[in-house]
Amino acid sequence: MKLCDLSCLYYPHGGGIKTYIDGKRSVYKTRNTPHILIAPNVNNQKKTEKTVDGSLAIYYLPSFKVVFGGTPYFIFRSFKDIRDVINQEKPGVIEIGDKITTLLYKSKIKKLHQALPVKIFAFSHERADNFSQTVLNNKILSRLFARLFIRRFAGAADAIIANSDFTGEEILKFLPKDKVHVLKLGINTADFSREICYDRNLYQKLSENGQKTLLIHVGRLDKDKKTELLVQIARELDEKKYKLIVVGGGGYENEIKAMPAVEFIGYIPHEEVKKYLAVSQLGVLVNNIEPYGLVGLEMMALGLAVLGPNAGGLISFLKKDFAWLLPYDKYAYLEALTEWQNLPAEKKEEISRQARAAAENYTLEKMTDRLIEIYQDHE
């Protein structure tokens, strides 16, 4: 069975959706599973380009750029381009990985569905209500916009796949339970070994020869990611004791990079991110409406304790054995940081072991096996 992913969010800074698609495609490649990906062409926005790697192919289609809440998005210019690829490739399953495409092209997706023997799933990687509230300042407009998003999203597919119970909650208002599936996302835990990723020279440089404890945050620094709290925490950190490594970029980056306790890295390739995670002692995650948060799993796989939120999708896998689950408040985070810092070395090592063990429950292979079950079982 040939599989197809379609998402206008697959581009270099696409975040979790790109990581999710790349992860399952890596498993498809080892299993020689035929798979095509339809994504926006962000480098040459008026041209269609194709790449092939074994059983995998990517079609980059013409797109145009829009900005919501300071965040850039790339939208497919024409549904005809999408339809032409699908008619040519004839996949048995299509998974749509964004709500923008279904918002714009729901009726055309339905017509395509009627014309082809194909199952269509829609993957929900974030909640429309939270996205609308953080991007739009008007509560009434954001509520109406979210309902429109979900109605068209749910109406375009045979079933919905959500990345957490938190993400799936709003969809259950529009669809029965048997049409909403929760998929535990995973990572390649073997890639996140300290023996492989640790760079002693990098650690010595960032920690100033071990004098400072290294904290790390990875992700976009935009309003919809609620990183205002990270800015507040960074402002309070004692620069003589701590160095907060910030990987990513966005609307808050100019403010946060000016703080003395911050080492601002910006956007870097994923392979480089691992090195910074490996030299850190503590992960900091603040988004209490995060749909899932793969970077949390990456922190766990490298044995980091985590200061994280007590709500949202991150609590799908963050547990009290190795994480502090905190309210959206800088004082709660700073108090937890002090508590962690004062733990004896033996306790910190125990927490590290528990984090690594918990991460093994969330591998790419387990995720992909479950995804294929959903594809095959849903009629």
Q: Is residue 140 pLDDT above 80, yes or no? A: no
Total number of domains constituting the chain: 2
333 & 372 share domain: no
Phi-psi group of 279: left, alpha or beta (phi > 0 → left; psi -120 to 50 → alpha; rest → beta): alpha
Give, to the nearest 10 degrees, the angle between helix 228-236 and helix 330-341.
50
pLDDT at 363: 97
Which CATH number belongs to the domain containing residue 30 in this structure? 3.40.50.2000
Domain with 351, as residue range(s), is: 189-359
pLDDT at 136: 64
Give the N- to C-terminal CA distance of the chain in Å, as an integer: 15
21 & 168 share domain: yes
DSSP-assigned states of every residue in 300-314: HHTT-EEEEESSSGG
pLDDT in tens, 3-43: 999 999 998 877 778 989 999 999 999 999 999 999 999 98
181 & 217 share domain: no
76 & 208 share domain: no
Residue at token pair 């069975």: 1
pLDDT in tens, 235-281: 999 999 999 999 999 899 999 999 999 999 999 988 899 999 999 99
pLDDT in tens, 40-85: 999 888 899 999 999 999 999 999 998 876 678 899 999 999 999 9
Strand spans (E) along the chain: 3-6, 35-40, 49-53, 56-61, 63-68, 71-76, 93-96, 119-124, 159-162, 180-182, 213-218, 242-247, 262-266, 282-284, 305-309, 323-326
Give the sign of the dihedral formed by CA 163, CA 164, CA 165, CA 171.
negative
pLDDT at 137: 67
pLDDT at 145: 77
pLDDT at 222: 86
Q: Is residue 135 pLDDT above 70, yes or no? A: no
| Band of pLDDT at residue 142, cut at 50, 70 and 90 | confident
Give the span between the Cα atoms of 275 and 194, in whole angstroms: 9
Share of the chain above pLDDT 70, in %: 97
**Which of 303, 281, 308 minimizes the C-alpha distance to 292?**
308
115 & 193 share domain: no
128 & 206 share domain: no
110 & 241 share domain: no
In sequence order, which residues have a C-beta less than 8 Å from that of residue 42 and are 6 or more positions away? 11, 12, 60, 63, 65, 74
275 & 300 share domain: yes
pLDDT at 333: 99
pLDDT at 316: 95
User: What is the rounded average pLDDT for all residues in the chain?
Assistant: 93
pLDDT at 15: 73
Q: Is residue 327 pLDDT above 90, yes or no? A: yes
pLDDT in tens, 191-235: 998 889 999 999 999 999 999 999 999 998 988 889 999 999 999
In the numeric block, which tokens belong to residue 114? 């009627």
36 & 181 share domain: yes
Structure pTM?
0.87
Q: Is residue 143 pLDDT above 90, yes or no? A: no
Q: Is residue 138 pLDDT above 90, yes or no? A: no
84 & 40 share domain: yes
pLDDT at 133: 66
pLDDT at 141: 74
203 & 172 share domain: no
49 & 103 share domain: yes
